[in-house]
Structure 1
Amino acid sequence: MKSNHRLLSLLFVLFSFAAFAQPKAPEVVTGSVSGVVMDTQLNQPIPYATVVIMTSTGETLTGGITNDDGVFEIKKIPEGAYTLKVQFIGYEPVTRDLVVDRDHRETDYGKINMDAVAAELDAVNVVAERTTIEQKIDRKVINIGKDLTTAGATAADIMNNIPSVSLDQQSGALTLRGNSNVQVMVDGKLSNIAPDQLLKQLPSNSIKKIELITNPSAKYNPDGMSGIINIVLHKNANVGFNGDVSAGLSYEKNAQFNSGLNLNYRNGKFNLYSNYSNTIAKNANYGTIFREGDNSTQFFDMLNDRKSHLLKVGLDVYLNEKNTISVFTSQNSFKGEPGGNIDIVYADDMSRNLMQDFGADMDNYSQQYNFDYKLDFEKEGHNIEFEADYNTFDAEEDTFFDFTGTTPLSDYEDFVDTKRNRTTLNLDYVNPLSESEKLELGAQAILFNTDIGYSSTGQSFNAEGNLVPTPSTHFDYNRNIYSAYVTYGKNYEKWSYQAGLRAEQVNVEADTNSVRAFTNDYFEVYPSAYVTFNPSEKNQYQLSYSRRIDRPGVGQVNPIREWSSPLVTEYGNVNLLPQFTNSLEANYTRSFEKGSFTAGVFYRIIEDQINQAVYVDRFNLDRMVLTQDNFDSTTAYGFELSSNFKAFDWWSINASYDLFNQTQTGITEMLDPNIENPTAADIIQTSEEVENTVYNARVINNFNATKQLTFTAFAMFRGPQAGIQFRNKSMFMTNIGARYSIWEGKGTISLNYNDIFNTMKARFTGSSPYLIQGQFNWESNTIYAGFNYRFGDSKYRAKRRKQRDDNEASGGGMF
Structure 2
Amino acid sequence: MRLHLLITLLFLSSRVLIAQQNQLYKGVVLDAKTNEIIPFATVTVYNESAFVSGISTNDTGKFNITIRAPFTSFKVSFMGYETLIAKRIDIKNEKAITFRLKALISELDEVVVQGERTTTQLKIDRKVINLGADVQQAGATALEAFDQISEIQTDLGTGSLSLRGNSNVRLLINGKPSGLNATEILEQLPAASIQRVEIITSPSSKNQADGLSGIINIITNKNTFRGFNANLNAGVGTKRYNYGIDGNYNFSSFNMRWNASQAGREMDSKQTIAQRYINGATRDFFAPHDFNGLVRKMAIGLDIFINDNNELSLGLDYTNDYHSFYNDTFYSNVTGREDFVYTRNSSHTHNTLDVNANYRTRFRDDNHFLEFDYQFSKNRNLFPAIDFEANVFLFEEERKNTNTLHALAIDYSLPVSDNIVLETGFSYNGRGLESTNRIVPREEIENFEAFDYNESLYGVYLQSRVKTHKLNWQLGLRYEKLMSDAVNVTADETLNLTFSDLFPTVHISYDINDSNTVNLGYSKRVSRPNFRHINPFQSRNQYFEWVANPNLKPEFSNNMESNYQYKGSKFNASAALFYRYRTAVIEQVQEIDENGVQSISFDNIGEKSSYGIETNIDYKAMPFWNIGISTNYYHTIVNSTISLTWDQLYSSNLILKNTFKINKALQADISFRQNFKTQNTFNFIEPRNRIDLAIRLKLLENRFMMNLRIVDILDNNLMFRRTVTQNVVQDEVWRFQSQTFGFLLSASYKLFQNKGKSRNRKSRNYQYGGTTD
**TM superposition shift of 1:593:** 3.2
Distance 1:249 1:230 in 2: 28
Query: Which residue of structure 2 lines up, in the alignment, with residue 249 of structure 1?
Result: 236
1:321–1:690 CA distance, 2 compared to 1 (3 A) = same
Residues 324-366 of structure 1: per-residue CA shift (max 9 Å, x gap): 11101000111111112112112654x3433211111321101
Distance 1:554 1:217 in 2: 26
Query: Which residue of structure 1 lines up, in the alignment, with residue 191 of structure 2?
Result: 204
**TM superposition shift of 1:62:** 6.9
**TM superposition shift of 1:445:** 0.6
1:726–1:757 CA distance, 2 compared to 1 (3 A) = same
Distance 2:69 2:83 in 1: 24
Distance 2:334 2:588 in 1: 31
Whether 2:716 is the aligned partner of 1:716: answer no
Whether 2:353 is the aligned partner of 1:395: answer no
Once structures 1 and 2 are overlaid, which stretch shifts more, 123-132 or 91-100?
Answer: 91-100
1:31–1:651 CA distance, 2 compared to 1 (3 A) = closer
1:758–1:667 CA distance, 2 compared to 1 (3 A) = farther
Query: Which residue of structure 1 lines up, in the alignment, with residue 747 of structure 2?
Result: 787
Contact 1:261 1:275 (8 Å CA) reproduced:
yes
Whether 2:700 is the aligned partner of 1:739: answer no
SS at match of 1:146: coil
**TM superposition shift of 1:262:** 1.2
Query: Which residue of structure 1 lines up, in the alignment, with residue 501 of structure 2?
Result: 524
Whether 2:33 is the aligned partner of 1:48: answer no
Whether 2:381 is the aligned partner of 1:404: answer no
**TM superposition shift of 1:616:** 5.1
Distance 1:543 1:730 in 2: 33
1:469–1:667 CA distance, 2 compared to 1 (3 A) = farther
1:606–1:536 CA distance, 2 compared to 1 (3 A) = same
Query: Which residue of structure 1 lines up, in the alignment, with residue 637 of structure 2?
Result: 663
Whether 2:417 is the aligned partner of 1:434: answer yes
Distance 1:35 1:584 in 2: 33
Query: Which residue of structure 1 lines up, in the alignment, with residue 3 of structure 2?
Result: none
CA RMSD, 1 decimal:
3.1
1:305–1:536 CA distance, 2 compared to 1 (3 A) = same
Once structures 1 and 2 are overlaid, which stretch shifts more, 275-284 or 317-326?
Answer: 275-284
**TM superposition shift of 1:730:** 1.7
Q: Of 319, 342, 347, which aligns to 2:306?
A: 319
Alignment of 1:533-682 (within 5 A): 533-564=510-541, 566-615=542-591, 621-664=595-638
Query: Which residue of structure 2 lines up, in the alignment, with residue 418 of structure 1?
Result: 401
Alignment of 1:160-309 (within 5 A): 160-251=147-238, 255-293=239-277, 294-309=281-296
1:624–1:802 CA distance, 2 compared to 1 (3 A) = same
SS at match of 1:157: helix
**TM superposition shift of 1:512:** 0.7
Query: Which residue of structure 1 lines up, in the alignment, with residue 724 of structure 2?
Result: 767
Alignment of 1:332-347 (within 5 A): 332-346=319-333
Distance 2:148 2:59 in 1: 33
1:331–1:105 CA distance, 2 compared to 1 (3 A) = closer
**TM superposition shift of 1:692:** 0.8
Distance 1:325 1:419 in 2: 30
**TM superposition shift of 1:447:** 0.7
Whether 2:772 is the aligned partner of 1:796: answer no
TM-score (norm 1): 0.85
SS at match of 2:457: strand
**TM superposition shift of 1:243:** 2.7
Contact 2:46 2:74 (8 Å CA) reproduced:
no
The one-letter code sitting in structure 2 at the alignment partner of 1:396 is L
SS at match of 1:411: strand
Distance 1:33 1:599 in 2: 27
**TM superposition shift of 1:498:** 1.0
The one-letter code sitting in structure 1 at the alignment partner of 2:696 is R
Q: Which runs of 4+ in 1 moved over 6 A?
A: 22-36, 72-81, 106-110, 665-668
SS at match of 2:186: helix
TM-score (norm 2): 0.89
1:34–1:492 CA distance, 2 compared to 1 (3 A) = closer
The one-letter code sitting in structure 1 at the alignment partner of 2:585 is Q
The one-letter code sitting in structure 2 at the alignment partner of 1:740 is L
Residues 202-228 of structure 1: per-residue CA shift (max 9 Å, x gap): 112222222211111111112111111
**TM superposition shift of 1:524:** 0.6
Residues 666-691 of structure 1: per-residue CA shift (max 9 Å, x gap): 788xxxxxxxxxxxxxxxxx455521
> How many percent identity over aligned positions?
23
| Structure 1, unpaired ranges of 5+ | 1-21, 460-466, 669-685, 808-815
1:742–1:361 CA distance, 2 compared to 1 (3 A) = same
Distance 1:147 1:113 in 2: 29
Query: Which residue of structure 1 lines up, in the alignment, with residue 370 of structure 2?
Result: 384
Query: Which residue of structure 1 lines up, in the alignment, with residue 344 of structure 2?
Result: 358
Distance 1:632 1:746 in 2: 57
Figure out how many residues of one structure are paired with residues of the other and give that number: 743
**TM superposition shift of 1:439:** 1.4
Distance 1:31 1:763 in 2: 56
**TM superposition shift of 1:614:** 2.8
**TM superposition shift of 1:80:** 8.8
**TM superposition shift of 1:429:** 1.2
Distance 1:125 1:328 in 2: 22
Distance 2:354 2:448 in 1: 31
SS at match of 1:556: helix
Query: Which residue of structure 1 lines up, in the alignment, with residue 465 of structure 2?
Result: 489
The one-letter code sitting in structure 2 at the alignment partner of 1:706 is N
Residues 719-756 of structure 1: per-residue CA shift (max 9 Å, x gap): 22223332222221111121111111222211121111
Contact 2:367 2:414 (8 Å CA) reproduced:
yes
Residues 46-88 of structure 1: per-residue CA shift (max 9 Å, x gap): 3437595845446456785797xx9x89899999986466656
Larger Rg: 1
Query: Which residue of structure 2 lines up, in the alignment, with residue 15 of structure 1?
Result: none
Residues 629-686 of structure 1: per-residue CA shift (max 9 Å, x gap): 1121221111111111111112111111111112346788xxxxxxxxxxxxxxxxx4
**TM superposition shift of 1:760:** 1.7
**TM superposition shift of 1:113:** 7.5
**TM superposition shift of 1:201:** 1.5
Contact 1:80 1:99 (8 Å CA) reproduced:
no
1:438–1:446 CA distance, 2 compared to 1 (3 A) = same
Distance 1:664 1:45 in 2: 55
SS at match of 1:771: strand
SS at match of 2:709: strand
SS at match of 2:606: coil
The one-letter code sitting in structure 1 at the alignment partner of 2:599 is V
Contact 1:250 1:782 (8 Å CA) reproduced:
yes
SS at match of 2:412: strand
Distance 1:177 1:591 in 2: 24
Contact 1:324 1:375 (8 Å CA) reproduced:
yes
**TM superposition shift of 1:763:** 1.2
1:271–1:395 CA distance, 2 compared to 1 (3 A) = same
| Structure 2, unpaired ranges of 5+ | 1-10
**TM superposition shift of 1:698:** 0.8
**TM superposition shift of 1:773:** 0.9
Query: Which residue of structure 2 lines up, in the alignment, with residue 682 of structure 1?
Result: none
Query: Which residue of structure 2 lines up, in the alignment, with residue 6 of structure 1?
Result: none
Alignment of 1:86-105 (within 5 A): 89-97=79-87, 99=89, 104-105=92-93
